[in-house]
Structures are given as structure tokens and as C-alpha cells.
Amino acid sequence: MEGPSSRLPPSLLPASRDWMVGRRDSGGDAESDRDIKTHFRVCRFIMETGVKLGMRSVPVATACVLYHRFWERASVHAYEPYLVAMSCVYLAGKVEEQHTRTRDILNVSHRYFNSGSAPLECDKEFWDLRDSVVQCELLILRQLNFQVSFEHPHKYLLHYLLSVKSLVNRHAWSRTPIAETSWALLRDCYHGAMCIRHIPQHIAIATLHLALNSYGVELPVGEKEWWQVLCVDVTKAHIDAVVSDLLQLYDMEAKCV
């Protein structure tokens, strides 16, 4: 299958070439630490770019899921990860009805790697790059069989937070940033493929569970655990699996600094 150009101009690449560490060796497991590190960095790029473009949390999450789904079907050695990321941001804006211009995506990406630089000139290189983003978008659509609508944990986490809040003393709730921490943990889940490995309800329960435990907030004890009441099919093993994957991502973050 033909794809877009796998090259990006130097102005749209990180100054350090360490991000390519997962692409230097064509051997090894596709889920090697080096590939995971590459994807972690690129997802961080997606999130920071999304914030600078004023995108809401769900479109940014969709961009990350598109990115991870794409690499389930493609080799990291075959395509430029940052080009795929820019196309995922562009496509996610369409899917979630928060359209973003390719020019804005390219300029924000340029500034991401070249802090304080002027906007890109509308020269041949710019139009070639724009065409690459659009062609890569078509490649992503074909790779995913045009299945680009996803269910995210966000709506479940909102429901679970409201339910748990009603069980906690309001003074204790106001003193501890349970909601803020839960949302932050959920956002961090999208740095890795765990966001497509676990179902949305389990991710939402696990992030809330971790936030409550982090601040030592205890809920009333009944016949069932609170998370069993909110999500009937979740088990402690599911929660532990999500938390374990999330902690591994934090370990990966330390390695990517």
C-alpha cells in the first residue's frame, strides 16, 4: 500500500534524534521498550499540540486512539510517527466536530520543535507537507477500515465521580482534589496503548480508584465494593491491570525525560 512521504523537513522534527531510537533497528518485538518510548513521546506531542490548538479533551483523546490503532496495523519503521500524529490530530478534529485547519496544525507543530520561531512560509515545502498530512489521513482511514469513532472513558468517569461524591463527606471532598486527579490520570492513560487495551468503563473505575487511594479517601462499606455497584462487570483484577499499565507509563515518562 502506498503511503505519504515518510520524511519531514528538519524544522518539523525534534532537535534530538533520540526519539528515533525505536526505528534504527528493524528487528525485535514491535512492542519493545524503544518503540513504546517513541510512541510515548509522540503522544505527548499530540496532547501538547491539541492544547495549543484549543482542542477539547475528547478530540485529543480520539487523536491518541487513532494513533495507537494505526500502529496496531503498521510498522513504526515504515512511516514517520510525527507525520502520523499530525494527521491523527487533523482527523480527530473532523470525527469530533472540532475542525482544525492543517495550516494551524503545521504551524503549532513547527513551534513545538522550534520555540519562538515565525510561522511557516506558504512555499513549496509547506504545500508538500500539507499534502503529506492529507495523504496520511487517507492512509489512516484505510488502515482502520474507516472505523474512527470511539467510546471514551470520559462520560463514565464523570458519572462515577458524581456518584462517589454523594457518598463522601462534602468537607472531605472539598479538601482533596479527587476529581482533578482522576481526570489527570485518565489523560495520562492515552500516552500508551493501554487506552485501547482496556474497555472505557474499567479505565474510568481504575483511575478513580487510584485517585481515592492516593488521598486515603474511604467510602462507606456495603455488601459490594463501590466499584462493583457502579460497574457490574469490573473485577479487582481489571482495576489492578489498568493501574499497573498506568504505573508503567509513569516509569516510561521518567525514561523519556
pLDDT tens digit sequence for 127-164 = 999 999 999 999 999 999 999 999 999 999 999 999 99
pLDDT of residue 218: 86
CATH number of 154-256: 1.10.472.10
Listed by start position, the domains of the chain span 10-143, 154-256
Question: Is-same-fold flag (10-143; 154-256)?
Answer: yes
36 or 193: whose pLDDT is higher? 193
| pLDDT category of residue 219 using cuts at 50, 70 and 90 | confident
pLDDT tens digit sequence for 74-83 = 988 889 999 9
pLDDT tens digit sequence for 43-92 = 999 999 999 999 999 999 999 999 999 999 998 888 999 999 999 999 99
Q: Residue 244 pLDDT > 70, yes or no?
A: yes
Residues above pLDDT 70, as percent of the chain? 88
pLDDT of residue 42: 96
CATH number of 10-143: 1.10.472.10
Cell numbers describing residue 93: 478534529
pLDDT tens digit sequence for 188-203 = 999 999 999 999 999 9
Mean pLDDT of 23-35: 56
* Whole-structure pTM value: 0.86
